[in-house]
Chains A and B, each alone.
Chain A
Amino acid sequence: MEAISSVPLGYYLSLSAIIFAIGAVGVLTRRNAIIIFMCIELMLNSVNLTLVAFSTFLGDATGQIFVLFVMAVAAAEAAIGLAIFLAMYRNNKTINVDEINLLKW
């Protein structure tokens, strides 16, 4: 088994770029804070795919370590972000980001 994966690296990177663009469109166009949060997870995961692809093709485990760290940061972000959404919903009865303008001048 000389060539384990016959899929070229560019295919993985292109797929990751497409998924990142879809996530960016979601962050820009949606107004529900939870859906914006899920689109951010989408973008984080596309970057994870890039890191794992490079890690495999370069033969270096460091990329997978970074994916581990990104997952830990995403878990912390999920806990904090959803707690903020709960507090916002309790105060404003909405999590539409257009109607939350406390910090907007």
Chain B
Amino acid sequence: MDLSLLFFIVLGIIAIIGAIGTVASKNPVTSAMSLVLHFFMLAGLYLTLQAQFMAVLQILVYAGAIMVLVIFVIMLLNLGKESQAEGGGGIRKYAGLAFGAVLGTQVVLLLVLSHNKFGELQSKAAEISTVEAIGQVLFSDYLFQFETITLLLLVAVMGALILARRRRSHESYSN
């Protein structure tokens, strides 16, 4: 067994553990921390794919910005454990688990059966994974989409401000 396969297996197992911890834990803060662990393992997987820029962005944007926002909101809302609500729908839980099992086995089976289609593909990341190559494609072929994304982010910031603003139309300073 060579080294990159070993890295892949270790990172993949920890990533799956993080994902299961996100889904299964009762405490939202534990769930968020498991998700941060999952994001770091995913950045490591990007490194095994020779996509260094994506790994850095994964840590900066997901584990840095988005998860800090999520944890901030969890702390702000002061959410405890989900005690009363989670016990009710037993059938929904089993239906969801059955759906997930069917979906997972279906996709993995599909990949295993079509394995010879991917067999001849070899990794050729050396010429595409630099920041220079990505920027070349981003600012030539996808320039319009890039500008649209900036517009989307601007609208999202304005929308978040309007949605989270406290409205004082009926009562003034009641809380």
| A interface, CB within 8 angstroms of B | 1-15, 17-26, 28-32, 34-35, 37-39, 41-42, 45, 48-49, 52-53, 55-62, 64-65, 67-69, 71-80, 82-87, 89-90, 95-96, 98-99
Contact = CB atoms under 8 A, between A and B. Distances in A.
Contacts of B134: 61, 64-65, 68
B104 A18 contact: yes
Contacts of A84: 163
A56 B125 contact: yes
Contacts of A49: 42, 45-46
B163 A42 contact: no
Secondary structure of the B side of the interface?
A: helix
Interface of B: 2, 4-5, 8, 12, 15-16, 19-20, 22-23, 28, 31-32, 35, 38-39, 42, 45-46, 48-51, 53-54, 57-58, 61-62, 65-66, 69-70, 73-74, 76-77, 79, 82, 85-86, 88-89, 92-93, 95-97, 99-101, 103-104, 107-108, 111-112, 115, 118-119, 121-129, 133-134, 136-138, 141-142, 145, 149, 152-153, 155-157, 159-161, 163-164, 166
Secondary structure of the A side of the interface?
A: helix
Contact of B100 (A7, A22, A58, A69): A22
Contacts of A34: 28, 70, 73-74, 77, 79
A90 to B, nearest CB: 7
13 contacts: A7-B4, A10-B115, A12-B49, A21-B103, A39-B22, A48-B58, A56-B50, A71-B62, A80-B156, A82-B69, A82-B73, A86-B164, A98-B88
B121 A58 contact: yes
Contacts, number: 252
A42 B57 contact: no
B157 A65 contact: no
Contacts of A90: 166
B163 A87 contact: yes
A82 B88 CA distance: 26
A84 to B, nearest CB: 6
Contacts of B77: 34, 85-86, 89, 95
B122 to A, nearest CB: 6
Given A2-B122, A22-B19, A71-B61, 5 more contacts: A6-B4, A21-B101, A42-B23, A79-B160, A82-B70
